[in-house]
Amino acid sequence: MSPDRGKRVVVGLSGGVDSAVAAWALKEAGHEVIGVFMKNWEDDDTDEHCTSREDLVDAVSVADVLGIEVEAVNFAAEYRERVFAHFLAEYRAGRTPNPDVLCNSEIKFKAFLDHAIALGADCIATGHYAGVREREGQFQLLRARDASKDQSYFLHRLNQSQLSRTLFPLADWMKRDVRACAERIGLPNHAKKDSTGICFIGERPFREFLNRYLPREPGDMVTPAGLRMGRHMGLMYYTIGQRQGLGIGGQGAPWYVAAKRLERNELVVVQGHDHPALMAPALTASDWAWISGEPPRTHGPLGGKTRYRQTDAPCEFVPGPPGTGRAEVRFHAPQWAVTPGQSVVLYEGDVCLGGGVIEHAEAGAGSAQDRVHAAA
């Protein structure tokens, strides 16, 4: 979508400083701007950890300062069906999902986009740190200028239709400049802390939240050889590479989670950050989504991320057998703590190509993950 002047743009106002400055920038550029506050969770919005009421107040205050209309829209039913149900199913299966990825593709750039179109919008905009451009009739998702805030990883499942109607006003902004601008123009939330964690969990304790929805099944914590090291509270509470909260300290190198044996309800732990069980030269992923609609055709190296805050790792994309929906990503150097359920996202330079959901990692020879996968 071209950022030409005079378009009707519906902006997702979250109550945070990024979406507020995005709305201001669009208005300054001559667009007709309408704000929409999305309420995506309401199971426990009276809870002390839930900030939705405070966020709505902040969004309304921002709209008042900017002189734009704002509407609150409830997408809680869509969120529960399209995002939260998947989140619980993945944890039941022993994986560690990333609900923010689905929230973007299913809620912020689908349910919200549909609502905006019904309001007569030419396009939508958000405060995400990412970019979009059109090249030869194709829309590309780009990294943001501020590498420390780039959010293209979480947007990799967007498609051509969604990107064609999306503006990212903060693509070329540095975070420090966003806050300085917000303070200069008198936005009431200029010093508001950035939100952290999974959107619907917020600041509440993760175990406490998950225990409301899934039964706790304690079991043994073992080494790859089967030596019992302690007890775990339930496999769903742990993720690959986790060090804190294991309760098995003592002398020597720290202990880390290396794998989950669902059939035995065992949590496999290893000692040492660089243990072979934590290092993966390759992975298999499925449920691939490509920005262009097609997988990459290049045989040259790409950049791959298996987690958000990670430097690109040089890798090759290797398509799997036709009809399986699977493909391999082979890294030039082993990657640490590759986690089933998380996303692997591929880049060519600053262009985000898309990504898939990690099924399993090909860990070091004779490692815990290899044995777990072989037994599955």
Q: Within a 10 A sphere around the Cβ of 79, how many other Cβ atoms? A: 25
Q: What is the pLDDT of residue 203?
A: 63
Selected residue with higher pLDDT from 206 and 276: 276
Write out pLDDT tens, residues 159-171: 999 999 999 999 9
Residue 332 maps to a domain = yes
Based on the structure, what is the number of domains in the chain? 3
Selected residue with higher pLDDT from 337 and 47: 337
End-of-domain residue from the set 225, 254, 271: 271
- For 301-318, what is each residue's pLDDT tens digit? 899 999 998 999 999 999
Q: pLDDT-based confidence at 41, cuts 50/70/90? A: confident
Residues 343, 103: Cα–Cα separation, whole Å: 14
CB 256 within 8 A of CB 275: yes
Give yes or no: residues 103 and 223 share one domain. Answer: no
Q: Which residue has the higher pLDDT, 372 or 132?
A: 132
Q: Indicate whether 50 pLDDT > 90.
A: no
Residue 12 in domain: yes
Kindly state whether residues 41 and 169 are assigned to the same domain.
yes
- Single residue among 163, 184, 205 that ends a domain in this structure: 184
Same-domain check for residues 282 and 344? yes
Beta strands in 30-145 (DSSP E): 32-39, 69-74, 123-125, 131-135, 138-142
Q: What is the DSSP letter of 195?
A: P
State whether 258 and 127 are in the same domain.
Answer: no
Paired residues of 358 in beta bridges: 285
Instruction: Mark whether 352 is an active-site residue.
Output: no
Same domain (yes/no): 237, 89? no
Instruction: Tell me whether residue 14 is in a domain.
Output: yes
Residues 265 and 285 in one domain: no
Q: How far is Cα 38 from Cα 232, in angstroms, rounded to an integer?
A: 37
- Type of residue at 155: L
Q: Which residue has the higher pLDDT, 49 or 17?
A: 17
Checking if the pLDDT of 270 tops 50, the result is yes
- Residues 284-293: what's their mean pLDDT? 97
Between CA 179 and CA 184 the distance in angstroms is 9
Residues 15 and 139 in one domain: yes
Question: Do 175 and 223 have their domain in common?
Answer: no
Question: At residue 56, what is the residue type?
Answer: L
Among 271, 288, 309, identify where a domain stops: 271
Q: Which domain holds residue 333?
A: 276-375
Region 203-220: mean pLDDT is 86
103 included as an active-site residue: yes
List pLDDT tens digits, range 94-131. 999 999 999 999 999 999 999 999 999 999 999 999 99
Mean pLDDT to the nearest integer, 264-284:
97
Q: What is the pLDDT of residue 196?
A: 64
**Could you tell me the sign of the dihedral formed by the alpha carbons of 93, 366, 266, 236, in that order?**
negative
Mean pLDDT over 59-69 rounds to 97
User: What value does the mean pLDDT take over residues 325-340?
Assistant: 96
Q: Model confidence at 273, in pLDDT bands (50, 70, 90)?
A: very high
Residue 266 lies in a domain: yes
Q: Which of 50, 123, 199, 315 is catalytic?
A: 199
Which residues share a beta bridge with 313?
304
Taking the model in full, what pTM does it have? 0.91
Integer angstrom CA distances of residue 243 from 67, 207, 239, 255, 339: 49, 16, 9, 6, 14
Average pLDDT over residues 216-234: 95
CATH number for the domain harbouring residue 233: 2.30.30.280
Q: By three-state DSSP, how is residue 257 classified?
A: strand
Judgement on whether residues 122 and 241 belong to the same structural domain of the protein: no
207-218 mean pLDDT: 89
Q: How far apart are CA 146 and CA 331, in angstroms?
A: 25
44 and 173 share a domain? yes
Which pLDDT belongs to residue 366?
Answer: 43
Q: Are residue 41 and residue 119 in the same domain, yes or no?
A: yes
Amino acid found at 4: D
Task: Determine which helix (DSSP H) or strand (DSSP E) holds 219, and give its type and residue range.
Answer: strand 219-222
Distance (Å) of CA 335 to CA 99, 217, 226, 271, 314:
22, 30, 25, 17, 10
* Catalytic residue, candidates 50, 103, 315, 352: 103
CA atoms within 13 A on the CB side of 160: 9
Answer yes or no: is pLDDT of 245 > 80. yes
Distance CA 205, CA 228 (A): 28
Asked whether residue 220 is assigned to any structural domain, the reply reads yes
Query: Is residue 191 in some structural domain?
Result: no
Mean pLDDT of the chain: 91
Across 268-280, average pLDDT: 96
304: CATH: 2.40.30.10
Q: Is pLDDT of 257 > 60?
A: yes
Q: What's the pLDDT band for 223 if we cut at 50, 70, 90?
A: very high
- Residue-level pLDDT at 53: 84
Is residue 31 in a domain?
yes
Can you give the CATH number for the domain in which 36 is found?
A: 3.40.50.620
- pLDDT above 70: percentage of residues in the chain: 90
Other CB atoms within a 10 A radius of the CB of residue 297 amount to: 6
pLDDT for position 373: 44
- The whole-angstrom separation of Cα 148 and Cα 300 is 26
Say yes or no: 130 and 247 in one domain.
no
- Residue with tokens 């750039």, as numbered in its chain: 109
> Would residue 3 count as lying in a domain?
no
**pLDDT more than 90, % of the chain:** 81
